[in-house]
Amino acid sequence: MHELSEAKIRNAIWYLKTGKTKKFVCTFLGVNYNVKKLDSIIEDFRKKELREQELKKLARNKKFTEQDKLVIAKTYLSGETQAAIAARFYISSAKVKKILLETKTPIKARGKNKQAFVSHISQDLDTKLHKDDKVFIAQYNCFGIIDEVYDENYLEYLEQGRQRYVELTTFKASHKYKEPAEGIHYEIYWILKDGSYYKKSAVSSIRNKIIKNLEETGREYYRVWRDDDYKCFCYFNRDKLYPVSI
């Protein structure tokens, strides 16, 4: 038999109170006409209601420990809604939100690309994030994964690379090109220690951007993989990212 919804069973009880026959109610519920079966469905539903009322009463008086609160925060960050968490723990949505605020958990906005609520979170910006750390991107209301940290260490890493000249086409002097032109006749690459490589001009641009950011903010910036429907890399300063450590 298919699972009956709470709303459907409530309607069935109401039909019985208004004088509808049990045969009519069985048909409404989509079950074979069986008085004992119908009585059992209603009795089980009422027992469940009583049990839920007891649990809600206990939850109202329960003192949530810090561990309890972290479990709720973790459940929320895993993707469950405040309403679903409230139903699971037999508490109100307002109580769930209060716990999320207490645990300094980012409150996701309703709708994509809307600014999340993070004003209750005071970050220690001196705490540096690391590659593969999970973060919450408040600006885009989504999670992300740190892919690269652009700091003093990365500058040093760039300096350890080596230059490689690659000829693209044989140069022949002409009216247009009196000397070999970079990007047409040749390219200069910067080979890093891990074997990856970039055009030297791109490396110079990255280096200048890191230095400028360090001079202006005193901190690193990050390349972050946006882990939502967009699935792309974005760049953020430290204050735009909220660590997810639970």
Taking only the tens place, the pLDDT of each residue in 222-240 is 999 998 889 999 999 999 9
Give the long-range contacts of residues 224-231, CB within 8 A, separation 24 or more: 224/135, 224/137, 224/144, 224/145, 224/146, 224/147, 225/144, 225/145, 225/147, 226/137, 226/140, 226/142, 226/144, 227/142, 227/143, 227/144, 227/145, 228/112, 228/140, 228/142, 228/143, 229/112, 230/140
pLDDT score recorded for residue 39: 92
pLDDT score recorded for residue 246: 64
pLDDT score recorded for residue 2: 62
Q: Is residue 153 exposed (0-12), middle (13-18) or buried (19+ Cβ within 10 Å)? A: exposed
pLDDT score recorded for residue 187: 95
Instruction: Kindly report the backbone phi and psi dihedral angles of residue 235, in degrees, each rounded to the nearest multiple of 5, phi listed first.
Output: -120, 130
Which segments in the chain show pLDDT lower than 50? none
pLDDT score recorded for residue 52: 76
